[in-house]
Amino acid sequence: MTTAVARIRILNVNYCFCPHVQRLELSIDRTLDYFDAAAEFDSQSSPAIFDISSEPPRTKPLVALKVHGTSRQLYRGTEMFAEVMRGLFPDPSSVRVLDVGAGTGLTGEMVHGTSRQLYRGTEMFAEVMRGLFPDPSSVRVLDVGAGTGLTGEMLQSLGYRNVDALEPVEKFAETCRQRGFYQRILNQPVGMDKPVDAPDDTYDAVCVVGAFGPGAIPTSAVPEFVRVVKPGGYILNCMREEYLRTVDNFRDKLVPLLQDLEKQGRIQQLEWTIYPGHFNDKDGLRMLYRVL
């Protein structure tokens, strides 16, 4: 019987793992001869950990791999798949799905709700919203970049009954309408000289949960958030921390803008917290501002 082999080239993170693999070979260069490290394992064992701490000194940082967990850190396919599936069907519980090439079931886990376990943005948002207002039923909230209504659902569970959604994508906006968590749906862009369709001082809070991302809500929308929030109200944002450095729309823009608004006496920073696991292994950033 031929032994199936999975090869990983560590430095360039070329990763391939199949459930039928019976032997794992690790290499730091183009050939497996760079150092002699191979491990035999039973493909049914989960998780399988391969300790390579005995490699030569120049490869010392590569200590161990946890095969069944590393795939989620190095592989974004399921994440990108989930971005589409979240908004594809108004009621996913009634939909029948065929997962072709199911492998170890990672896609199936996502379909059955694992996305909520891998994504902590809504959870971190809820921690703040639980104690922000004594009577949430009397509070008016704008959920910016509402997507498929995950934040609206959380707000509903926390007792918030007067919530509007701003969602630029028509498909997502329609999903928000159908789910029934929102009083009003603003299907419009915001920022880049596109104002929110609401008067000054309309909302007690503006929430941006996961909507500050590539190609989504821009930095230029922040002054609009300040405009529509009542004095004494709040702007709460949960996003990937790395986007402050890796996304052109935020790098050297979002933080300076917030600092300028503070200097102008328009907002006051109450919280700036970096937390682990915002999505999968990516750190999150929770920021809370009071509008003055």
pLDDT band at 92 (very low <50, low <70, confident <90, very high): low
Q: Looking at the structure, do residues 125 and 157 belong to the same domain, yes or no?
A: yes
If you average pLDDT over residues 277-281, what whole number do you get? 82
pTM value > 0.75: no
128/210 same-domain check: yes
Looking at the structure, tell me whether residues 105 and 185 fall in a common domain: no
283: domain CATH number is 3.40.50.150
Residue 130, pLDDT score: 93
| Helices 150-157/170-179 angle, 10° precision | 30
Average pLDDT over residues 189-215: 94
Domain count along the chain: 3
Give the range of the structural domain holding residue 103, as residue numbers without chain letter. Answer: 79-115
The residue among 74, 107, 135 that closes a domain is: 74
What pLDDT is attached to residue 279? 81
Query: Is residue 214 scored above 60 in pLDDT?
Result: yes
Q: Are residues 228 and 267 in the same domain?
A: yes
268 and 164 within one domain: yes
Per the CB < 8 A criterion, the answer to whether 243 and 213 are in contact is: yes
On whether both 21 and 37 belong to a single domain, the answer is yes
- Please indicate, yes or no, whether residues 111 and 123 belong to a single structural domain of this protein: no
Among 115, 143, 166, the domain-final residue is 115
Higher pLDDT, 265 or 31: 265
- In this structure, the answer to whether residues 134 and 211 fall within a common structural domain is yes
More reliable by pLDDT, 43 or 177 = 177
- Average pLDDT for 108-117: 49
Residues 150 and 210 in one domain: yes
Same domain, 192 and 259: yes
The verdict on 247 and 276 lying in the same domain is: yes
Does 46 score more than 70 pLDDT? no
Looking at 14, 49, 74, the residue that finishes a domain is 74
pLDDT value for 65: 31
Q: Average pLDDT, stretch 179-199?
A: 95
Confidence (pLDDT) at 81: 74
Q: Are residues 229 and 178 in the same domain?
A: yes
pLDDT digits (tens, 9 = 90+) for 128-179: 999 899 999 999 999 999 999 999 999 999 999 999 999 999 999 999 999 9
